[in-house]
Amino acid sequence: MTQKIIILDFGSQTTQLIGRRVRELDTFCEIMPYNKFPKDDPSVIGVILSGSPYSVHDPEAFKVDLSQFIGRIPVLGICYGAQFISNTLGGRVEKADSREYGRANLETVDTTNPLFRGFEQHSQVWMSHGDTITAIPADFEVVGSTKDVVNAAFASTKQPVWAVQFHPEVFHTIQGTQLLKNFVVDICGSRQEWSAASFVDSTVAELKQQLGQDRVILGLSGGVDSSVAAVLLNRAIGDRLTCIFVDHGMLRKNEFQQVMDDYKVLGLNVIGVDASEKFFSDLEGVTEPEQKRKIIGRDFVEVFNAEAKKITDARWLAQGTIYPDRIESLNITGKVIKSHHNVGGLPKEMHLQLCEPLKWLFKDEVRRVGRQLGMPEHLITRHPFPGPGLAVRILGDITREKVRILQDADDIYIRGLRDYKVKLSGEEARKVLAAGVPAQMQDGEIEVSLYDQIWQAGAILLSTVRSVGVMGDERTYENPVALRAVTSSDAMTADWAHLPYDFMAKVSNEIINKVRGVNRVCYDISSKPPATIEWE
C-alpha cells in the first residue's frame, strides 16, 4: 500500500508548494479541499493544514473537524492551519498590531523537539500573516519563537500535533525542508518510496493492465507533459500507441520538423499533420484574443478528430494532464473555477475512454520521470508554450508574414537565453537545483544558462503599433517587439526575470539587425498578478 500525506487546502497560494516539497522527500501526497478529508483511508500517515487568505475570525473562514485526525495520525498546521488549531483547541488568536510579513529569525528553538531536530539557532523563516497567536491551547508548549512572535511554533505534549506560524515550504525559510523532513519521515514514518524510478515501474505495470491489447491515441504538442506521457505509454504498449501532432502554422521557428525528428529518435509512432492553411484561413481578419483562441481550439479538435477517426480500432485517448491542471480546475469547495484544456470530458462522437498517466505529477516530477525514461534534456527542460502558439503573442490579426517576423525574433531570443551562462550560489543556486535543473555544485557555485533559470520566455509582436526608427540613412516605420521572461514555480504567480544588461543589449541589437519588420525592442517588467504571463 502506497503511503500518503494529506494536505488540506484552505486556499493558500503556497499549498501546491507544500505538496511539491513533500514529493521531494520521496513521499506521495495528495492535496484535497479542507472539507474532503478521506476518513477511512488506511494509507494516510499524516495531515498538513495549509495557510489561507482568511482570518480564523472571518464568518466565511474555512473550518474542518479536527477530531477526524487529531489523536489518530500526526498533524502539522502551517500559518492559518496553526491559528485554526490554536483557536479551535482553546488558544487565542488576535489581530496583530502590524502585519507580520517577510523574513524573521527563530531567536529560540527547541532542537530536542522532533519537529526541530537538526535546526540551528537563529535560523531564518518566512512570515506572512495578519493575525497572531497570543495564547496557545492547554497541553501545548512553545518550541520556537522569533523576536516579535512568541508562539512562532508550538507542539502538543500529549498528542502528535505541531503548528508553525511561518511557512516552511518557501525558499526563504532556510531550514524548511529539514522541518518538513522531520515531520514527514521521522514523525509520520514515511518509507520514502515515491520516486521517478518507482513511478515509472508502477505506472508502466498499471498501464499494461489498464490498456491490455487496446490501441491508444495521444495528441502531442511538443511540450514536456505530452512528450513524457507518450514515452511512458510507448514503454507500456509499444506501437499500439499512435500519436498525432498537429501543426497550426504558429509554432516556434522550425519547431514542427524538429519535434518530429525528436519523436522519431524516441521511437514513437507519430502522425504529423500540416493544417496551417486551414488555421490561417479561419483566423483571417480576427483580432479579438478570445475569438482567436476559440477558432484555434475548434480547428484543432476538428483536425485531430479527423485523423483519430482513421484509427478505427482505438479505444482510448491519452492526455498529458498533470496534477496542477486538476488542482487549478477546482477551488477548495470542489466547484470549477477555471477550465483547463486537459481537464474535462471528451467529445461524445469519439467514444473513447480517457487515459492520464501523469495525473498525479507536478511539473518538476514530470521532468524527473522524463530523465528516468532517458529522454533528451532539451525536450525535458522546454519552457511552457501556449496551445494557440504565436497567435496569442501577435497583437492584432494573424498573417503568415507576422508569424515569420515573430518566429525569427523569438528564435534569436531563445537561442540567446540558452547560450548565455551564469554562475549562481546560495539561495539562487538552491532554487535552480530544487527545480530539477541538472547542474553540478563546484566551490559553492553552479553554472547554468539563463534559459534554465527562467520558467517561461518568449517574444511578442506589437503588430498594432508602429514606431519610427533610423537604419543607415533611412527612416523606418515598423513594429516593436516586446520580450517577456518570468520566474515562477507553478505559473499561478510569476515575477519578471532580471536579465543581465549586456545580454539584453546583444539580443536587442541582433533582432533589430536581422529581423525584417522590427525596429524597436522592449522588455516587459510586469509581474503576475496583476498582469498575466501571456499578453493575450
Q: Mind telling me the catalytic residues?
A: 79, 167, 169
Specify whether the CB–CB gap between 352 and 261 falls below 8 A.
no
Q: What does the block give as the cell for 263?
A: 519523436
Beta strands in 302-352 (DSSP E): 314-318
Q: How many CB atoms lie within 10 A of CB 145?
A: 18
Q: Which residues of 205-214 are buried (b: 16+ CB within 10 A; e: fewer)?
A: eebeeebeee
- Best CA proximity match to 8, nearest among 71, 85, 60, 123: 85
* Element of type H or E holding 264: helix 255-265
Which value, in Å, is the radius of gyration of the alpha carbons in the chain?
A: 25
Specify whether the CB–CB gap between 216 and 355 falls below 8 A.
yes
- 438 Cβ partners below 8 Å, 6+ apart? 371, 377
The residues facing 272 across adjacent strands are 245
- What CA–CA distance (Å, rounded) separates 373 from 235? 9
- 387 Cβ partners below 8 Å, 6+ apart? 221, 296, 297, 300, 341
- What CA–CA distance (Å, rounded) separates 206 from 535? 40
- What CA–CA distance (Å, rounded) separates 27 from 327? 19
Roughly what angle, to the nearest 10 degrees, separates helices 363-372 and 196-211? 80
Whole-angstrom CA distances from 321 to 223, 326, 340, 394, 490 are 12, 8, 9, 27, 14
Specify whether the CB–CB gap between 372 and 197 falls below 8 A.
yes
Bridge-based pairing state of the strands 474-487 and 518-523:
parallel
